[in-house]
Structure 1
Amino acid sequence: MQKLNKTSMISSIMLNKNILELKEQLKQVSNLQHDINSCITCGTISLADAASQIMMLKENSYQLKLKLIKEVHVTNNGAPRKIEYKETKGLWYTLLPDKHKLYGKTEEILLDKLMAYYGLTMLDFKMKTVFEQALEHKGKTEAVSDETLYHLKSSFARFIDEKLANSDIRSITCDMLSEYTLKMLRKAQWVDEQGVAHKVKKKAYLEYKSVLNLIFQYALLKDYIKTNPLSKFSNKVFYKECDCGKAQSSEKIFSDEEIKHIKERLRSKFNQKKYKGYFINGYAILLAIETGMRVGELPSLKWTDIKGNYIHIHSQQLSKRQKGGKEYYYADWTKNEKGIPMGGRKFPLTQIIKELLAELKELQVEKGIVSEYVFCHENGEWIKTDAYIACLSRLLKSLNYNITNNHAFRMSLNSNVLCAKLHLPVAKRAELLGHSVETNLKYYTFSTKDNMDDIIDLFDSNSLNEGQIPRVSPRSHQNVIIFTKKESPETLISQAF
């Protein structure tokens, strides 16, 4: 018999009439097993009553697998290859056509492995298998980043226990999911050292729901299921078990005073020996404070993106997880554009930003650094998001701040400057930061981190009591400006910075 490679061998197997008939019989047995398990789950039949049928179907499944393997697992002269038990190892084993040995704890496990080897594996309807298929499908058919896929994997591991992960997707009902979700949310609650109970955040619950949506939408697409159990799933019921309160300003944004301390700490590091007079991540952090640029948008910013009176923000640095590390690449769209370049956004080139970029450019010329990227290393290579994030986290932790992420600069700029000082309409704020109006209102707008004395001073300095002259306290905000005439948004932005 002519030697075939594995691909051509599987193709020839799939055309064998006997094999097709055996596969169809095995499929019918699998469907009957599923139907009986569904009846047991629904309570229409007891496990005791179904025991004999379950045993019979299990034996039929085993015999059909054995016949299938005898058809395909053969030597060059057509004789069935031996499947034996090796007592020294306590395992069943057989020799593959490529001379490698294949092992299994039981004979049926070995049969399943052989079916997979020869491309005869029956569809696996376990939730975890369908999730993996759905994740692969999403990565191939949608413009999603590796980070999105990574977060979906993490959410699956966090919220889906082993029992549910191994459940047959076809047997899962809305009631089963509802009962599981309620127990999961209650089990996830924890009590801190002060005895305060903490519930799962609403955002985390919605991440769990995203995983379920991904699984069942894919199962519906592939006709694994006829109806989606999530169609009758009510979020409102489970919100009661979640922490739905909006985060406090202290958990999300920096105050003006904290921003000032961050800038001072950065400037103090610029001349440290370890940076050799070129603390490039420090400059990137300073620009993030002034513009609210996303982590990925900073490394991809080019000098050609600096225009006459604005910065053109239209790209980002993305990465792919692969063996040996990450591969970083340039994407000509921003996060909110979701893989389709739409021109990006413009951010005003204020005096502070002009001076910061001029300072950096002068330093690069002095050091002979040539690069198309604004934030580059001395060899001209662009900075990496991971290094930037690590640098920022260390800096903020050294200041004993609980907030250690770049995203806080976006929210701080929106809340402290664009909203509280410039009073820009929400549509303009959303345009400058590159997201929707709904996102700006829901996730980016916080009250400023003023203490009560500051608030009193603001009232006193901006209100006229009858027969009194407005009082301005020494503590009142130096950034409060009283204009004699209406100013344009562009003028206001310039003055605020």
Structure 2
Amino acid sequence: MKKEKILAEHPYNINKTNVVSNGKTYEIWITFVMKNGKRSQIKRKTKEAIEEYLIEFYTAEEQNKIVTFKDCYNEWTGFKKQIVSDNTIYRYNTDYNRFFKDTEFENMNIVIINEKDIILYLSNIVKEKKLYHRAFKTLCGYIKEIFEYAESNRIININPYIYVKPKLKLINKLCIVDVYKNSDERTISNNDIEILLDKFQSDYASKPEYITPYAVEFAILTGCRVGEISALRWQDIENGIITIRSSEKSHRTKGKPITHTIEGTKTGKERKIPVTSAMADLLARVEKAENNIGSKSEFVFSDKGGRIISANISNCIRKKCLQVGISQKSIHACRRTVNSTLRCLGMSPTVAASLMGHTEEVNENCYTYDISVLDTKKNMLEKTNTLLLNAK
């Protein structure tokens, strides 16, 4: 610890005062420190002497301090807060509570945790929590990151996790086998799309103020992310082109209400989607409906309460699936369906990645280029919309 930092972080004032002893007046300096949970007064003849004492006291305290796994996790998340979103930190803390809170492991001195301690902890938590393979992989990721952080910051000399990695396969056998959804579960069939669209038409007629289903219909046609749909503005649609340049972000902080902001796209890049005839028809119907109820705003999907947030769009498709008696689907299922249909029609992975806003491993590290014209993309989207809207 640097001397300046120690003195700057000392919580008590250093004051000069006069004392009388044997009829003589002396000048002394006083301050306080915490010892064994109690405040203790410190006296010295000079300010320099009291500062020297404080430096020695806090240096010794730091050297004797036990750093637990929990302490190191808190340091790690403090560092991560500078480079990741609030939502990511929220997920870290939720996972920490699930995996580590109230365990002996979190209170262990990280300096003395060894390979055996980690293996025993992992084995016990997998059996106790009945973890799936994916959850176990996430858990190992946290332990790996925290021990790497501790090693790089000289909290520990040797990272014990490197000796654990070769033995993870044995613990992995204790996990519950992941149940992966098949393509029918992860996408929406033409028949289900037809059923949903019929329900939407019924809602448009009976509940003209209910704008949210239009946003779900837009997802079925475009495959856009739910945050992109919520953030879409009318000014983003021009000359037959939809420019995706914004996305809604939800910020979760423990003990506080969820807040929503409009920020850049997930990849940080804009992308263009050509407007098909089905999309143009939908947008015209949305505009007319919003004008009729007086809710039209700068955002494409707005009701009398203002911009329709992502959560309401996501809830809408789930609720409508329940109402019509089909298996529950998500907005992301719409996205997978559009992408899968485009690929089945022969669109190249590079062009599909460009249209959907995927990275495709950053399109082979940004060296594969999408040179297709928008007319080609529009033709593919027209065919996709036709296939999805005509189930019979």
Q: TM-score range by the shorter chain?
A: 0.7 to 0.9
1:233-287 C-alpha deviation (Å, 9 max, x unpaired): 2455555445367532233222121122122222222233xx4x12221111111
Change (3 A) 1:154 1:8: closer
Q: 2:126 maps to what in 1?
A: 185
Q: Distance in 2 between matches of 1:438 and 1:167?
A: 39
Q: Give the structure 2 partner of residue 12 of structure 1.
A: 13
Matched, 1:426 2:368: no
- Secondary structure of 2:216 counterpart: helix
The equivalent residue for 1:136 is 78
CA drift of 1:120 comes to 9.4
| Cα distance in 1, alignment partners of residues 98 and 315 from structure 2 | 24
Contact 1:312 1:347 in 2 (8 A): yes
The one-letter code matched in structure 1 to 2:93 is K
**In structure 1, C-alpha distance between the alignment counterparts of 2:297 and 2:109, rounded to whole Å:** 55
Q: 1:405 aligns with which of 330, 344, 348?
A: 330
Cα RMSD (Å): 3.5
Distance 1:329 1:130 in 2: 31
Q: 1:127 to 1:286 in 2, by over 3 A?
A: same
Tell me the distance in 1 between the aligned counterparts of 2:74 and 2:9.
27
Whichever residue aligns with residue 151 of structure 1, its letter is: R
Q: 1:280 aligns with which of 211, 216, 219?
A: 211
SS in 2 for 1:10: coil
Comparing 247-256 with 227-236, which one deviates more in the overlay? 227-236
TM-aligned CA deviation for residue 149 of structure 1 = 1.9
Where 1:258 maps in the other structure, the secondary structure is helix
In structure 1, how many angstroms separate the alpha carbons of the residues matched to 2:68 and 2:144? 16
Cα drift, residue 400 of structure 1:
3.8
What secondary structure sits across from 1:363 in the alignment?
helix
Alignment partner, residue 385 of structure 1: 310
Question: Alpha carbons of 1:165 and 1:18: their partners in 2 closer, same or farther (altered >3 Å)?
Answer: farther
Q: Which of residues 396, 403, 421 in structure 1 aligns to 2:321?
A: 396
| Aligned counterpart in structure 2 of residue 437 of structure 1, from 360, 363, 367 | 360
Is the alpha carbon distance of 1:382 and 1:165 closer, same or farther for their aligned partners in structure 2, counting shifts above 3 Å? same
Q: Secondary structure at the match of 2:258?
A: strand
1:21-170 alignment to 2 at 5 Å? 65=36, 69-71=39-41, 125-139=67-81, 141-142=82-83, 144-160=84-100, 162-170=103-111
State the distance in 1 between where 2:339 and 2:304 align: 33
The residue number in structure 2 matching 1:216 is: 147
Deviation at 1:412, TM superposition (A): 1.9
Residues 252-401 of structure 1: pairs in structure 2 closer than 5 A: 252-272=186-206, 275=207, 277-321=208-252, 325-331=257-263, 333-335=264-266, 337=267, 341=268, 343-378=269-304, 381-401=306-326
Shift in Å at residue 17 of structure 1? 11
Q: Residues 357-404 of structure 1: CA distance to partner in whole angstroms, max 9, x if unpaired?
A: 11111222333334111111225x212222323333222233344434
Matched residue of 1:269: which SS?
A: helix
Q: Summarize deviations over 1:55-87 as a string: whole Å, max 9, x none.
A: xxxxxxxxx626x73237xxxxxxxxxxxxxxx
Contact 1:369 1:378 in 2 (8 A): yes
Amino acid at match of 2:96: F
**Structure 1 pair 263/413, CA: closer, same or farther in 2 (3 Å)?**
same
Q: 1:126 to 1:365 in 2, by over 3 A?
A: same
Q: Tell me the residue number matched to 2:18.
A: none
CA 1:158–1:310: 2 relative to 1, 3 Å: same
Q: Report if the CA contact (8 A) 2:211-2:290 is conserved.
A: no
Unmatched 5+ residue regions in structure 2?
Answer: 1-7, 16-27, 43-60, 364-374, 386-392
Could you tell me which amino acid in structure 2 is paired with residue 358 of structure 1? Answer: A
Q: Is the 8 A contact 1:253 1:403 kept in 2?
A: no
Partner in structure 2 of residue 479 of structure 1: none
User: Aligned pair in 2 of structure 1 residues 324, 249: CA closer, same or farther (>3 Å)?
Assistant: same
Q: Which runs of 4+ in 1 moved over 6 A?
A: 16-20, 119-122
Distance 2:220 2:162 in 1: 43
Shift of 1:9: 7.0
TM-score when scaled to structure 2?
0.73
CA distance in 2 between counterparts of 1:428 and 1:311 reads 16
Alignment coverage as a number of residue pairs: 332
Q: Is the 8 A contact 1:131 1:214 kept in 2?
A: no
Q: CA deviation at 1:355?
A: 0.8
State how far apart, in whole Å, the 2-side matches of 1:124 and 1:384 are. Answer: 46
Of Structure 1 and Structure 2, which has the larger fraction of its residues in strand?
2
Match for 1:130: what amino acid? C
Structure 1 unpaired stretches of 5+: 1-6, 24-63, 73-118, 190-199, 441-486
8 Å CA contact retained: 1:397, 1:404? no
Looking at structure 2, the residues matched to 17 and 404 of structure 1 have their Cα atoms a distance apart, in angstroms, of: 71
TM-score by length of 1: 0.59
Of 180-189 and 277-286, deviating more is: 180-189
Higher relative contact order (CA closer than 8 Å, sequence separation 6+): 2
CA displacement at 1:18 relative to structure 2: 10
